[in-house]
Amino acid sequence: MPRKEYPHTPDGRYFVSKARLWRCTDPALSDTERRAAVKALMQARRAVGQAESEAQTAEARAAVDAAKRRLGERGPV
């Protein structure tokens, strides 16, 4: 199934879906940095699903937040 294309802002930082602006991965990241951050994000998301206690869930969610900030999808613009 082909990937759906969404309109992007001229600076490449946001895309529009259903009349809402969503932040993209920072286009200034190198490919190596981006891949490492995406890998960390996927590992953290798996950890959320496999968490067996509230403490583990909180720790995994913090790791997801850290990875998304590393990608530039959260935090200061």
Answer whether residue 24 is part of any domain. Answer: no
Total domains, the chain = 1
Answer whether residue 49 is part of any domain. Answer: yes
Query: Of 15, 13, 12, 11, whose CA–CA distance to 3 is shortest?
Result: 15
Answer whether residue 22 is part of any domain. Answer: no
Average pLDDT in the 24-39 region?
93
Reported as a pLDDT band with limits 50, 70 and 90, residue 1 is low
Answer whether residue 12 is part of any domain. Answer: no
Answer whether residue 48 is part of any domain. Answer: yes
Looking at residue 63, its pLDDT comes to 97
pTM: 0.80
Question: Does residue 67 have a pLDDT over 80?
Answer: yes
Which residues constitute the domain of residue 77? 29-77
